[in-house]
Structure 1
């Protein structure tokens, strides 16, 4: 192991003879360390088979002892083995702190055994170990740093692979492919029940503004996918109602979004995503809102068929479309306010900052231009749907 000052001939002689005896005692030291580690934490038993653990501890001890008595130019097999162990323990899921604890305990055992050997064979040489101690613990520190770096690199790679697999599973579910066993694989990969209450939310986002993805809140779990112009969330609802999801998104994700109805299995996420897209289409460009499809079904019917929506606008509004754009906008704004106010001219007038008679006059003119009466239910439905179509479908 590395050191700052050259060792004397006497120190080399003591180290070489002591190291040979240390190597002979490795099996017993490995037994002792395995028992100590497994008594310290049951996770060693869970992560590493006992025989494998004993063998690897023995190897690591041998390489460490060899490094203790090696020259500076000798190959560092202890560091190579530390890299190998770091990678393997990360794959096995043993916490890094337990791996580093094992290295420290191995260092204590070897040091105590070295002191015992020198004390038995050559007590006068014990003072020489003062300098050896700094060499040895510097070496243990290097081994620990090497094992930790390899562990973290492997952990990051495993996390990246897991993330990529999760994203691929989400993409496949959201596309709605009929691949056999997809839902079962996704359930295992995402740690979700194959049958459960799910919804899909689509949010239009400003790529120049920060967007904070919710991971878990109010009993709901979120799994996000980024698209070119929106963020897609698969939401495991648990027992939460859709109202709770909508309120949460309004509070945490300001902007415009659409929420699908509840579906009851992972296999239904593809259709749910398409329904969330339709819900998003029902949101106008003027004011941000997050809407549920099941609350916007009539409008959703309109926007889901732009060709029919265009025919509806032309057929219902007819002569209205030939007016000056500003004049047309005033009439349509009045109709929208009157509808939003539940057919109350007084409340609509307050919203529009005009007299209620002005509202009545504009509505009568609108009826004349469209040849429809707002007092007839069928005509009112046509006018309402035509207004949605005019505002939400491309010109």
Structure 2
């Protein structure tokens, strides 16, 4: 509680004499301060064990009184102890405003005691003591600010470790671990219900020049997002409120990310996030090269089947498109582009022709040639399914 202004010989005499008496009164002052703190807030008793509290206040007062009458070159044990006390109070969870309250009231008690001691021993020295008031309160301010700085630093470190622990729990859930109590611990750390409506989003992050930057969304009406980084994509666990679904989720994501990305179906709890993550990644894989869409798995199930079985996909391509693969690449691409346009247009040759900038008869001629090469008919449902799946496989696996 001492300052560092150069003092006169008279001031030194007054302070040293008063400090000697003050040190003898530290136990009584400690009892008095603890009584006042308890009256102000019961959190002091809840956060700090009584014996520890008494000892720490006694030590802090003793160091503060010693600093009051210390020389300029003396080590600041009061500040060292204030930093230690600030760290300890942060660990105990006592609010910072109560820590600072304790320092202010300790200063008031010591000042009142100083006035009483000097008035009793040397009344004529009161003007000298008043002259030193600003110095003393500057010391109190420095002690409290030192404690506050240590408190905030410790609190930030604790929060960082807590966040890292929660993120580790979330990663474990996304990996599909079934450790007992894992979902409950993550729910408590994330402030989420263990059972609820959740989806997982996988978004490929491509930071190439010219691409719109990926913007994480933390919250939107009806949604809370918890993002985790992977090597070449990011994953978000999304908590969905009642009344909102995957359609609304896709709309929110489209506003923040150009894609490509995949959205899992809704799962009923945190313990199911491993499954949801795998399904979201499958949905992402149904986005072919150059795709910039956020897609839902439930809208891409045939393609999802293809990308989930790469060996079967390769066999399907070879079986259905075998002769087609022997064509010149440009010729082959033209036929497959025509098939794709025809399928996207619901089997309408006229609309496909408009999309391809050609005559509808040209579309019919290309499709007939495709049927001849594959020995399949687009008019037979089973053949149409095979052709559609083979086209998806070719697009998504690169043939």
Give the TM-score, by structure 1 length.
0.90
1:197–1:347: structure 2 CA closer, same or farther, 3 Å change rule? same
Q: CA deviation at 1:17?
A: 2.6
Q: Structure 2 CA distance, aligned partners of 1:314 and 1:271? A: 31
- Does residue 292 in structure 1 map to residue 325 in structure 2? no
Does the CA-based 8 Å contact 2:104-2:140 persist in structure 1?
yes
Cα deviation, 1:9-35, whole Å, max 9, x if unaligned, reads 322221123223434554554455446
- Does residue 232 in structure 1 map to residue 238 in structure 2? no
Q: Structure 2 CA distance, aligned partners of 1:225 and 1:25? A: 57
Does the CA-based 8 Å contact 1:2-1:72 persist in structure 2?
no
Does the CA-based 8 Å contact 2:3-2:67 persist in structure 1?
no
- Does residue 214 in structure 1 map to residue 217 in structure 2? yes
Q: CA deviation at 1:298?
A: 0.9
Q: Structure 2 CA distance, aligned partners of 1:38 and 1:251? A: 53
Does the CA-based 8 Å contact 1:195-1:266 persist in structure 2?
yes
1:394–1:153: structure 2 CA closer, same or farther, 3 Å change rule? same
Equivalent residue for 1:302, pick from 282, 300, 306? 306
Q: CA deviation at 1:387?
A: 0.8
Q: Structure 2 CA distance, aligned partners of 1:65 and 1:362? A: 97
Cα deviation, 1:29-65, whole Å, max 9, x if unaligned, reads 4455446556666655654456654553343223212
Q: Structure 1 CA distance, aligned partners of 2:214 and 2:86? A: 36
Equivalent residue for 1:223, pick from 208, 221, 226? 226
- Does residue 381 in structure 1 map to residue 385 in structure 2? yes
1:146–1:302: structure 2 CA closer, same or farther, 3 Å change rule? same
Equivalent residue for 1:266, pick from 263, 270, 295? 270
Q: CA deviation at 1:281?
A: 0.5
| Counterpart secondary structure, 1:196 | strand
- Does residue 164 in structure 1 map to residue 153 in structure 2? no
Q: CA deviation at 1:294?
A: 1.4
Mean CA deviation greater in 63-72 or 1-10: 1-10
Residue aligning to 1:140: 140
Residue aligning to 2:183: 183
Equivalent residue for 2:339, pick from 335, 340, 348? 335
Q: Structure 1 CA distance, aligned partners of 2:40 and 2:356? A: 74
The within-5 A match list for 1:84-103 is: 84-103=84-103
Q: CA deviation at 1:178?
A: 3.0
- Does residue 347 in structure 1 map to residue 371 in structure 2? no
Q: CA deviation at 1:87?
A: 0.8
1:86–1:344: structure 2 CA closer, same or farther, 3 Å change rule? same
Cα deviation, 1:193-237, whole Å, max 9, x if unaligned, reads 222222221110124675443333223222222111111112222
| Counterpart secondary structure, 1:342 | coil
Q: Structure 1 CA distance, aligned partners of 2:84 and 2:215? A: 38
Residue aligning to 2:104: 104
Q: Structure 1 CA distance, aligned partners of 2:258 and 2:43? A: 44
Q: CA deviation at 1:305?
A: 0.7
Residue aligning to 1:312: 316
| Counterpart secondary structure, 1:80 | helix
1:381–1:155: structure 2 CA closer, same or farther, 3 Å change rule? same
1:265–1:308: structure 2 CA closer, same or farther, 3 Å change rule? same
1:211–1:31: structure 2 CA closer, same or farther, 3 Å change rule? farther
Q: Structure 1 CA distance, aligned partners of 2:21 and 2:68? A: 13
Residue aligning to 1:245: 249
> What do you get for the CA RMSD once the two structures are aligned?
2.5
Q: CA deviation at 1:390?
A: 0.3
Q: Structure 1 CA distance, aligned partners of 2:216 and 2:34? A: 44
Give the TM-score, by structure 2 length.
0.89
Q: Structure 2 CA distance, aligned partners of 1:354 and 1:105? A: 88
Q: Structure 2 CA distance, aligned partners of 1:326 and 1:40? A: 83
- Does residue 392 in structure 1 map to residue 389 in structure 2? no
Q: Structure 1 CA distance, aligned partners of 2:339 and 2:304? A: 20
In the alignment, structure 2 segments of 5+ residues that lack a partner are: none
